[in-house]
Amino acid sequence: MKALEGRVAVVTGGSRGIGAAIVKRLAEEGATVLFTYVSSEAAALALAREAGGAVVPLKADSGNVEDVRRVIATAIDEHGRLDILVNSAGVVELVSIDEATLEAFDSIYGVNVRGTFVAMNAAAKVMGEGGRIINIGSISSDVMPFPGASIYGSSKAAVAAMARCAARDLGPRGITVNTVQVGPVDTDMNREDSEWAAGVLRTMAIPRYGRPEEVADMVAWLAGPTSAFVTGSTLRIDGGSAA
């Protein structure tokens, strides 16, 4: 029997990059996976076909409260339960604090913090014992080797703090809440052949970019039964960037 057989998962921002790798990994472990996408419908449908019948794409904007709540409700209405929530949706905009606008702040926090809160809030109302909430964070909340990340980094710090505090709230119900702090990973948003990659590699103990599948492996472990005593934790997967 696979580790997540019979479990139902929601992954926000699951159509590409790290999110897509997480969707595939959870499905491989036997979970039924609902994942959200905003605009990349073709990629979402392709992922669903690749992963098989237990994977369902849902168009939803993590910056829209009703969209997020609808996705959680869909899991309950169509599958009768929700066991795993992975908050992978996120936006990045690098801008110096003296040039940043309130609109940029609201946009980043609206998805990265508010959207994560709404999903956690809705999921916590319907999850039972053994539930897993996993937030995809960033080492930018702890260390940033180049300028322009004051809004983004602080939004990810808020996500990690929210997870630690929520772990206290939900622990008595047997629900764990953790954050995976991701370092440089080769995705469309942060390619290993980008113009700044050489500078990033100099900050790392293991001088290579990570693979989305490596992050997905850690998420799958946190979603499974052998991590039941791990909660309120912030786990780094960053090649030693923050060492």
CB 2 within 8 A of CB 54: no
CA distances from 152 to 108, 141, 149, 189 (A): 7, 8, 5, 14
For 195-208, b/e burial (b = at least 16 CB within 10 A) is eebeebbebbeeee
- 37, 109, 152, 209: the catalytic one is 152
d(CA 54, CA 78): 12
Q: Is 95 within 8 Å of 147 (Cβ atoms)?
A: no
- The question of whether 37 is a catalytic residue gets the answer no
Please name which of 61, 58, 170 lies closest in space to residue 115, comparing C-alpha atoms.
Answer: 61
DSSP 127-156: --TT-EEEEEEEGGGT--SSSS-HHHHHHH
> What six digits make up the tokens of 182?
């991701």
Residues labelled as active-site residues: 152
